[in-house]
Amino acid sequence: MNLLASLSSPLELENPTSLAFGALVAFVAMGLFRWFKDLHEPVRVLYHEHDLVWATCRYADVFQKGYRPPWWVSFGSLFFSGTWHTLAHNIIREFCKQPEVKYEREFVRLKDGGTVGLDWAVSSRCPSSKELLLSPDISDDSYPIVFLHHGLCGSSRSHYVLSAVNYFLKTQKYRVVVMVARGCGEVPLTTSEGFNAARADDIRQALNLVFERHPTSHVFGVGWSLGAGLMANYIGEEGNNCRLSGACVISPCWDFMARSPWFPIWSKMFLGKSLVDYTKVNKEAFMACDKIDLDKGLAAAHVAEYDHHIIVQRHDKYETIDDYYRDASPLKVARNITIPTLSINSDDDPVCSVDGCPTDKAIMGPGLTVLRTKRGGHTSWAKHDSAHTSWMDEAILTWINACNDNLIRLHNSSRNNFENSSVSTSASSGSASEAGEENENKKFEVIPNRRGSVDDPTSYRDDSLQPDVEKSTPLFPLVSAAAAAYLSYRIFRR
């Protein structure tokens, strides 16, 4: 019997096997629909209504289209997919090497005797650090500086850092410097104080040197993972005095007391071992402190055990490991963040739990914008069409560009206001005052929200960045599944 005759004949439940097969096809169809729907999840953003930078960049393609993960990391539960996503993306990036970046390194001696490194990326279009220091004729006013900080036990050679550096250098309008933490990336550990998640003062001192050396340049901060937490802590601690012109923090742990269900596995298999290896490399420096139980630290099986023996015991202000973790959590200073700062987190992050992210604007400073994706892993966000590249690099560059463009617009507006006020010398003081207030209100062109303002400060707007398209109703997958089951039964029942 041909296909049309089979489909037009009366329905007869004479073959239970065919009916079971049809049910299986329907189940698979519903699963594929759910998977396809997950691939197109929009980003969710919590922001203040008067966030001028977000108003500028919110309609950029990288945010408007949302994040689309590769199909091979989109199955299973969020925590499983996040772990697989993070591991696979890191392995792929190790094999697909990033373009080489040449750095000029300088060492910065800190107040307590510690040392951090500043690796300045060398670009043919931007003057090098040494040229700027030695030649008074070279002005770097036109080159904003991007200050990067790596994650736990990373360096300027970490694949995510190299990728971001290449993105910024390709624009040919930024100078890039990577801060390398104490004892990391061949920076010597000159005291017994190692990498500490609660000490943002190292960033403060390194940035102060950059500000002193380049007083007319705008400086933007970017951090990943633990470096993102340190960057957020620094910005929050500085508050209104923060001299950064904008920042982007990727996969920060906002609350160290909130832990992912997969974190114990990562703690034992990866993070704990990295800390032990870090301690072995800097063993002589750690031996100088009698408070540290070095042997137990080197034998630590997981991160909390290491932190207890190497960090908590060294500092009298910490009585328990929880005291240290609370001190390291940027959530406590989130309300003090005033400069434009974008935080990017993924719901399936297996390392830094998304449960600690700010979800209420009441605890967010006026400069903080929190963006979340359903999938993305930890500092990963592999692109669906090229797994060795990352969506987060485009997001970082888009945000920093928006920060820089708004500063340029503000500068030009202020200059125009000054010129107009100089020409209009015959205007009365009252009229001049009114004109000044009007110009002040027109410094930025705020792009209106297509969906209206965010009214609920305690929730994310899942549709705030989606185009105005009609959403599928729940009836669609059911009808599709029923049709698939019926067709399968009619075709294969014989």
C-alpha dihedral sign at 416, 418, 424, 427: positive
Q: Tell me, yes or no, whether 16 lies in a domain.
A: no
Structural tokens at position 470: 């009609």
Q: Tell me, yes or no, whether 76 lies in a domain.
A: yes
Q: How far apart are CA 126 and CA 121, in angstroms?
A: 9
Q: Tell me, yes or no, whether 325 lies in a domain.
A: no
Q: Tell me, yes or no, whether 276 lies in a domain.
A: no
- CATH number of the domain enclosing 183: 3.40.50.1820
Interaxial angle between packed helices 78-95 and 159-171, expressed in degrees from 0 to 180 and rounded to the nearest 10: 70
CA geometry: angle 487, 490, 491, nearest 5 deg: 85
**H-state helical runs in 149-246:** 159-171, 201-213, 225-238
3-state secondary structure of 56: helix
Q: Which residues, 6+ apart, have CB-to-CB distance to 298 below 8 Å?
A: 276, 279, 280, 283
Domain count, the chain: 1
pLDDT at residue 79, rounded to an integer: 62
pLDDT at residue 128, rounded to an integer: 55
Contact in structure between 327 and 233 (CB atoms under 8 Å): no
* HSE-CB of 79 using CA atoms within 13 angstroms: 14
Contact in structure between 48 and 455 (CB atoms under 8 Å): no
Contact in structure between 282 and 194 (CB atoms under 8 Å): yes
Query: Higher confidence at residue 481 or residue 250?
Result: 250
C-alpha dihedral sign at 481, 485, 490, 492: positive
Q: Tell me, yes or no, whether 86 lies in a domain.
A: yes
Q: How far apart are CA 393 and CA 397, in angstroms?
A: 6
Q: Which phi and psi angles does 176 have, rounded to 5°?
A: -125, 135
Band (pLDDT 50/70/90 cuts) for residue 73 is confident
pTM, two decimals, is 0.78
Q: Which phi and psi angles does 219 have, rounded to 5°?
A: -120, 130
What is the average pLDDT across 391-417?
83
Kindly tell me if the per-residue pLDDT of 106 is higher than 80.
Answer: yes
Contact in structure between 101 and 167 (CB atoms under 8 Å): no
Kindly tell me if the per-residue pLDDT of 380 is higher than 80.
Answer: yes
What is the average pLDDT across 246-258?
97
115-121 sheet: strands from edge to edge: 44-46, 368-373, 341-346, 246-250, 219-224, 145-149, 175-180, 115-121, 103-109
Q: Tell me, yes or no, whether 268 lies in a domain.
A: no
Contact in structure between 23 and 484 (CB atoms under 8 Å): no
Q: Tell me, yes or no, whether 65 lies in a domain.
A: yes
End-to-end CA distance of the chain: 9
Structural tokens at position 122: 């060398």
Question: What would the pLDDT profile of 288-315 be if each residue is shown by its tens digit?
Answer: 999 999 999 999 999 999 999 999 999 9
Q: What are the DSSP calls for 245-298, one per residue? A: SEEEEES--S-TTS--TTHHHHIIIIIHHHHHHHHHHTHHHHTT-TTS-HHHHH
Instruction: Specify the range with the lowest mean pLDDT, choosing from 9-18, 149-158, 347-356, 370-379.
Output: 9-18
Q: Tell me, yes or no, whether 89 lies in a domain.
A: yes
Contacts of 135-144 with CB under 8 Å at 24 or more apart are 140/175, 140/214, 140/216, 140/217, 141/216, 141/217, 142/173, 143/173, 143/174, 143/175, 143/217, 144/173, 144/174, 144/175, 144/217, 144/218, 144/219, 144/220, 144/245, 144/404
Kindly tell me if the per-residue pLDDT of 346 is higher than 60.
Answer: yes
Q: What residue numbers bound the domain in which 370 lies?
A: 44-255+333-406
Band (pLDDT 50/70/90 cuts) for residue 384 is confident
The pLDDT mean for the chain works out to 80
pLDDT at residue 475, rounded to an integer: 45
Instruction: Give percent above pLDDT 70 in the chain.
Output: 70
Kindly tell me if the per-residue pLDDT of 271 is higher than 80.
Answer: yes
